[in-house]
């Protein structure tokens, strides 16, 4: 059986095999992006002839025909032909390529991936290009990067060196690479809540709601829940307009995601006279109209505050896209249902469950992605935006978010796909290129259930700054199991090579990191244990991998935590 992810809608295996796996593409007259995609294959003048026809098919639909001496691609548009080539790449992993006929099309027209580049880790352009290659391979057609301050905005120039940032040229280079891979690169920018680094600066403090805010020792938590710009101040709106105007020209997309979620501080304006839900909706509407005036269609997170005034939603521009998120195993269906009943354009947004972890939470993300996409289908959502957030320092590598990324792509293309032995076998073969990749990922994921990153960080901040003695002790209760499970995983991974070895290396670092955290927690609590890891040696490996793939950013915050606990 041919292994494919996503699986195709119709597959007919015919008699015979392709005679020559080298391709002749010299006479192709088609979009240069398709020629570029075919350069993945070995090519020669006497290779198998390839033809591409843009024909009477639906959007992104394609037919792939493999004969003994020819390959024929027929598609409704260039994007469909591009996805036929991605399917062909997977088929060519087979030692012998069978003659076949495939007809395929997506269930959702919008299939996006959302990646946090703000809260600790800023990927290099090369890392993002590698991500784009993967997204295209699994037929994702949209990418958004979550940005608060990590761009060369005028308003952030005083802090850019501390936090790191992406330049205009880098954003445009990423956009060109997305275009080459039929991916819409959509700008996403915090414009209401989540403006900590902007509104913590002295020159803008007067524009925030929480004027008397005192920074927490646990800055990751403080940054996550504060600050919100005051919607009652015209100067605040003008400031946000200026930031939007700087960012938008670097993108060719017709869309702009203004975010506008989790405006936690707005509750401080609830003085008995202000309806904070109405304040929220009015400010959002002003932002949407500004984005529309610049020729862009607005997207925004479907914050629960909006549902308090459904009439405001109905009065927003009709082409506005609402992003309904939910990350639990069994997400709340009520908001999705309500947006569906209003008939607005809705995209459902599950998640990879990587935030506040060194490894994705497989058990949670599987149920979450499946249930959210099912809710999307039931409520006529037009697409899926799978999210990969970076709360609490973004400690997880992109490799250890990739299973959830692929699952989201697969279910976006074919929502009927089941997580069964056939699917896992395809994941191991195509993604990890190792027969036990998924199984070991699950082991590392379960190990991190016993060493919760968020609990570990809270323990650290209490230990160092607050001198409180109510630490979370669950890590200690499981320490013997943590050490045993780490050694078992280490034994499975240390002396073998995977064809896609980066995944193996990152799994090994994540497993060891769990054990380091467990042992350092024992140290904080004065529990005497025999250590089997070395903090500095692990941190050296973690640092090396981080720096291979990311810019100068906020690694120092994670390093400081581990070094302090080792030395004190």
Contact 441, 359 (CB under 8 A): yes
Structure tokens at 44: 């020669």
* Helices and strands in the chain: count of H runs, count of E runs: 21, 14
The rounded distance, in Å, linking the Cα atoms of 69 and 49 is 7
Contact 409, 111 (CB under 8 A): yes
Nearest of 322, 324, 191 to residue 245 by alpha carbon: 191
Chain centroid offset of residue 98 CA: 35
DSSP state of 158: T
Rg (CA), the chain: 25
The rounded distance, in Å, linking the Cα atoms of 446 and 330 is 19
Nearest of 361, 298, 296 to residue 328 by alpha carbon: 361
**What domains, with CATH codes, occur in the chain?**
10-104 (3.30.379.10), 110-419 (3.20.20.80), 437-567 (no CATH)
Structure tokens at 221: 């938590």
71 vs 2, 39, 51, 238, 397, CA distance in Å?
17, 15, 6, 56, 38
The rounded distance, in Å, linking the Cα atoms of 389 and 140 is 18
The rounded distance, in Å, linking the Cα atoms of 273 and 48 is 74
Per-residue pLDDT of the chain (568 residues; tens, 9 = 90+): 899 999 999 999 999 999 999 999 988 999 999 999 999 999 999 999 999 999 999 999 999 999 999 999 999 999 999 999 999 999 999 999 999 999 999 999 999 999 999 999 999 999 999 999 999 999 999 999 999 999 999 999 999 888 899 999 999 999 999 999 999 999 999 999 999 999 999 999 999 999 999 999 888 999 999 999 999 999 999 999 999 999 999 999 999 999 999 999 999 999 888 899 999 999 999 999 999 999 999 999 998 889 888 998 998 999 999 999 999 999 999 999 999 999 999 999 999 999 999 999 999 999 999 999 999 999 999 999 999 999 999 999 999 999 999 999 999 999 999 999 999 999 999 999 999 999 999 999 999 999 989 989 988 998 998 766 556 677 888 899 999 999 999 999 998 889 999 999 999 999 999 999 999 999 998 899 999 999 999 999 999 999 999 997 889 999 999 999 999 9
pLDDT reported for residue 553 = 81
- What are the residues facing 208 on neighbouring strands? 229
What residue has token string 């509407």? 285
Q: Contacts from 477-483 at CB under 8 Å and sequence distance 24+? A: 478/450, 478/451, 478/518, 479/518, 479/519, 479/521, 479/522, 479/527, 479/529, 481/450, 482/447, 482/450, 482/451, 482/514, 482/515, 482/518, 483/515, 483/518, 483/519, 483/532
pLDDT reported for residue 552 = 78
Residue 393 CB contacts under 8 Å (≥ 6 apart), including other chains:
119, 120, 121, 220, 457, 554, 557, 558
pLDDT reported for residue 469 = 52
104's enclosing H/E stretch is strand 98-104
Residue 144: strand, helix, or coil: strand
Alpha helix positions (H), 181-267: 196-199, 219-225, 234-247
116's enclosing H/E stretch is strand 110-116
pLDDT reported for residue 471 = 61
What is the torsional sign of CA 488, 491, 496, 497?
positive
Length of the chain equals 568
pLDDT reported for residue 228 = 97
Contact 368, 351 (CB under 8 A): yes
């Amino acid at each position: 059986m041919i292994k494919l992810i996503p699986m195709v809608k119709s597959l007919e295996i015919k008699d015979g095999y392709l005679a020559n796996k080298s391709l002749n593409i010299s006479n192709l007259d088609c979009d240069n992006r398709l020629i570029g995609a075919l350069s993945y294959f070995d090519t020669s003048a006497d290779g198998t002839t390839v033809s591409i026809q843009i024909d009477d098919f639906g959007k992104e639909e394609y037919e792939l025909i493999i004969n003994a001496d020819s390959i024929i691609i027929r598609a409704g548009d260039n994007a469909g032909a591009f996805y036929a080539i991605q399917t062909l790449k997977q088929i060519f992993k087979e030692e012998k390529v069978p003659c076949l006929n495939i007809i395929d099309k997506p269930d959702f027209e919008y299939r996006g991936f959302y990646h946090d580049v703000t809260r600790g880790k800023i990927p290099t352009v090369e890392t993002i290009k590698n991500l784009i290659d993967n997204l295209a391979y699994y037929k994702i057609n949209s990418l958004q990067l979550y940005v608060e301050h990590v761009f060369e905005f005028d308003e952030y120039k005083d802090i850019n060196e501390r936090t790191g940032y992406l330049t205009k040229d880098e954003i445009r280079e990423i956009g060109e690479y997305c275009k080459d891979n039929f991916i819409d690169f959509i700008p996403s920018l915090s414009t209401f809540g989540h403006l900590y680094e902007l509104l913590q600066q002295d020159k803008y403090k007067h524009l925030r709601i929480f004027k008397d805010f005192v920074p927490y020792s646990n800055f990751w938590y403080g940054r996550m829940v504060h600050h919100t710009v005051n919607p009652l101040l015209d100067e605040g709106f003008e400031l946000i307009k200026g930031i939007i105007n700087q960012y938008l020209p670097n993108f060719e997309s017709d869309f702009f995601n203004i975010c506008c979620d989790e405006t936690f501080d707005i509750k401080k304006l609830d003085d008995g006279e202000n309806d904070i839900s109405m304040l929220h909706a009015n400010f959002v509407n002003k932002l949407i109209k500004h984005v529309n005036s610049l020729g862009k269609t607005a997207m925004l997170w479907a914050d629960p505050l909006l549902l308090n005034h459904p009439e405001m939603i109905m009065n927003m521009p009709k082409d506005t896209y609402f992003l309904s998120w939910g990350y639990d195993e069994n997400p709340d269906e009520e908001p999705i249902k309500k947006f569906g009943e209003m008939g607005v354009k809705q995209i459902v947004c599950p998640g990879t469950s990587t935030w506040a972890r060194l490894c994705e939470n497989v058990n949670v993300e599987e149920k979450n992605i499946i249930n959210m996409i099912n809710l999307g289908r039931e409520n006529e959502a037009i697409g899926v935006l799978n999210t990969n957030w970076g709360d609490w320092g973004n400690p997880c590598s992109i490799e250890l978010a990739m299973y959830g990324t692929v699952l989201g792509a697969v279910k976006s293309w074919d929502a009927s796909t089941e997580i069964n032995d056939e699917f896992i076998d395809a994941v191991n073969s195509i993604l990890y290129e190792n027969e036990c990749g998924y199984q070991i990922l699950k082991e590392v994921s379960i190990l991190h259930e016993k060493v919760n990153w968020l609990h570990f960080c809270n323990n650290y901040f209490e230990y160092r700054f607050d001198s409180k003695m109510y630490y979370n002790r669950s890590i200690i209760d499981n320490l013997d199991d943590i050490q045993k499970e780490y050694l078992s995983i280490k034994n499975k991974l240390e002396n073998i090579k995977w064809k896609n070895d980066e995944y193996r290396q990152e799994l090994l670092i994540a497993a060891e990191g769990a054990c380091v955290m467990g042992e350092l927690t024992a140290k904080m609590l004065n529990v005497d244990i025999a250590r089997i890891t070395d903090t500095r040696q692990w941190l050296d490996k973690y640092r090396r991998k981080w720096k291979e793939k990311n810019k100068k950013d906020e690694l120092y915050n994670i390093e400081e935590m581990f070094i302090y606990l080792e030395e004190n």
